[in-house]
Amino acid sequence: MINNNSILFNGITGMHLLVLVLSLVMFAGLVIYLALGVESRKRITGISFFIAVIGGIFFYSSYYVEMAAVNSESPMMAILPTLIAVGRMFVGVNGPMEQIVGIAQGLLKIPLEVCTFFYWLVHFLAYYSMASAAILALGEGMVRRLRLLLNMVSDIELIYGVNDTSLAIGRVLSEKRGTQVVFVGKAGAEQRNAIRQMKSILLEEKWAQKPGKELLKKLSVKKGRGRLALSALSEDINSNLTFALDLRDCLKKNGIKPHQTSLVLLGQEELDGAVLLAKGERYGYGFVKVFECEELVARLLMQKFPLCDVMAFDDEGRAKNNLNVLIYGFGRTGQEILRKIIANGQFEGSTLHVHVFDPQNDIRAGFFKERYATMLEQYDVSFHPYAAQSAESYNFVRKHAKELDYIVVAVGVERESREIANELLALLKRAGNLLPIARCSRSGVIYQRLEGEAESYYLQDAEFIYGGAMDEIAKQINHHYLGNQGSADQNWMNCDYYSRMSSRASADYLSALFKKLGIKDKNDLNPETLENLAKSEHRRWCAFHYSMEFCDMSREEWSKRAEDYVSKLEAWKQSGEGDAPRLSVGKDMVLRHHACLIDWDALDELSERENKLRQRTGNPKMVDYKEMDREAVLTVLEVISSL
């Protein structure tokens, strides 16, 4: 039978409307809550738990204290029942509502309806906080297990190390179709949330940080199936190498083929690259790219803001002004920048002058000065033991403001770098010099102007590391010189560290110089321009070798090595055993001595001397070192024009 007093017949009262509105508001709150990040949801769950506990203790302690008084018991007898009743709230059990609300309403002196609402709100928050905690715990585990199962049909991008750089790169890699990104390492709350948002996996367990069979099983990496790409990007380069070596040994033990693997390593290219690459009978990763942030940033600076751009040239490609460079900061980044500036700042008709300001020059430059002593003897580099914002520094800038052509700030602290750049720009403006300033750090380069937006390039963009954009021309130059049937990428992987650096140096320097001079192909070259470019290239070649710790080879040393070569060749002819000794008289890679580290005008005499040796030993191939510099210019131009 229908009650004629029901809402259906009497309409919606004000209280009913209030309940309806509050229910909708709470439902909307739940929807918004589900859209929040995990860390925000955890905070809300914690707040709900706290409110539920406080409210539950109030309601149930009031009730049980009253019951104890009715039963003539001590109020202390209310403690355990209160705690049990509050605990039961979290699993959805409530006590005698009418009696509890009635007692609480008498204590609070508020309307019964309001007290009832708060009673149910406390129970709702208790039940909700428990359910939410369970969902968070179970859901996170389920999501991780599901994503690990997806590894069976995905390529794996395994990233060792959790930091700003690796997270930024992980975001780029996670957008690749058919790829699952897996992080290994310890992470903070915000970092975990960032990894979840990019739908990646975080492994913090010990078995993950010490690669073994269990890690390969979790990643579903099997012999002949799938691809595993490791990016070892921890800020500790020693741990990167250790992890890469441990994983390599694990892959070998489990029969994973080298072509299934690749490695990008933050470490020392010269030392680590050769050890980790598969070559011949040596097991290793199928592809290996090792980089140092400081060296990469210095190359990025030279590519995006080349030194030739601040130079003036005549119609034959000869420089019309000297190059004056100022560097602030001489930590690892500043040291790499100085090496690159010396190697890329050589132009026929110009002299390079570099001034380095750092209050800790005596400490920071000690080993650098010892290691690159010959380079510092050959070029005009002055070290000033003053801070960038010191009176001595600003007096120097004020005195030489009109002469400065290129300024780099590499003090390591972003806020300090920006302040220094702003102050320098103001000083230069007074002298009428609107020179931009490059701010460099381990993460990238910012080119700051007095007016207009700054240009920013970051290693975290991933294209510089993974896309190969920085090395594309260098690869093609190396491929051109080898002249074999292999691919440019394969030849690049097989060439040694020094050959890579040489190709990179040539590519960075000449590609920028051609662009500055408007040279697109051989038709843009006349004999005078080619000659000046060849002279500039020879100066660049010498500076690069000095920056790689080479020294010049004396005439006496060359003559001794020539006689040693003749003796070895005669002995080989008589024995007929093994391969003939190679002609490398003018280059000693062990001691890093080179006979070509001489002025352009002295190259003819060296060519003549070596050709006499070749005639003496029956070698029909003659050499012309000046012509080799001309050919180097034409070769790089041919590669660039073809690209």
Q: How far is CA 253 from CA 223, 228, 283, in A?
A: 11, 15, 10
Of 174-178, 196-200, 581-585, 630-634, the poorest mean pLDDT is in 174-178
Which contacts qualify for 386-391: CB closer than 8 Å, 24 or more apart?
A: 386/357, 386/359, 387/357, 387/358, 387/359, 388/328, 388/329, 388/357, 388/416, 388/420, 389/419, 389/420, 389/423, 390/359
Query: For the segment 374-398, what is each residue's pLDDT rounded down to a tens digit?
Result: 999 999 999 999 999 999 999 999 9
**Contact predicate 460/159, CB 8 Å:** no
Whole-number pLDDT of residue 321:
95
What is the helix (H) or strand (E) element at residue 80, kind and residue range? helix 79-89
Please, is 401 exposed, middle or buried when counting C-beta atoms within 10 Å of its C-beta (0-12, 13-18, 19+)? middle
Query: Greatest CA span in the chain, whole angstroms?
Result: 125
Mean per-residue pLDDT, 468-485: 76
Q: How far apart are CA 285 and CA 308, in angstroms?
A: 39
Does residue 560 sit in helix, strand or coil? helix
297-462 has the same fold as 154-291 = yes
Q: Where are the domains of the chain?
A: 1-35, 36-153, 154-291, 297-462, 551-642
* Fold of the domain spanning 297-462: Rossmann fold (3.40.50)
Q: How far apart are CA 625 and CA 632, in angstroms?
A: 11
What is the helix (H) or strand (E) element at residue 326, kind and residue range? strand 323-328
Whole-number pLDDT of residue 463:
62
Say whether pLDDT at 141 is over 70: no
> Bigger pLDDT: 316 or 504?
316
Report the 10 Å Cβ neighbour count for 391.
9
Q: pLDDT over 90 for what percent of the chain?
A: 43
**Contact predicate 626/531, CB 8 Å:** no
Residue 59 corresponds to which amino acid? F
Mean per-residue pLDDT, 215-222: 81
Say whether pLDDT at 117 is over 60: yes
pLDDT classification of 540: cutoffs 50, 70, 90: very high
> Bigger pLDDT: 354 or 97?
354
Query: For the segment 47-79, what is each residue's pLDDT rounded down to a tens digit?
Result: 888 888 888 888 888 888 888 888 777 878 888
Please, is 399 exposed, middle or buried when counting C-beta atoms within 10 Å of its C-beta (0-12, 13-18, 19+)? exposed
Q: Which residues fall within 8 angstroms of residue 551, CB to CB, at 6 or more apart?
A: 374, 591, 592, 593, 594, 597
Q: pLDDT over 70 for what percent of the chain?
A: 87
Q: How far apart are CA 501 and CA 541, in angstroms?
A: 12
* Fold of the domain spanning 154-291: Rossmann fold (3.40.50)
Q: How far apart are CA 126 and CA 133, in angstroms?
A: 11
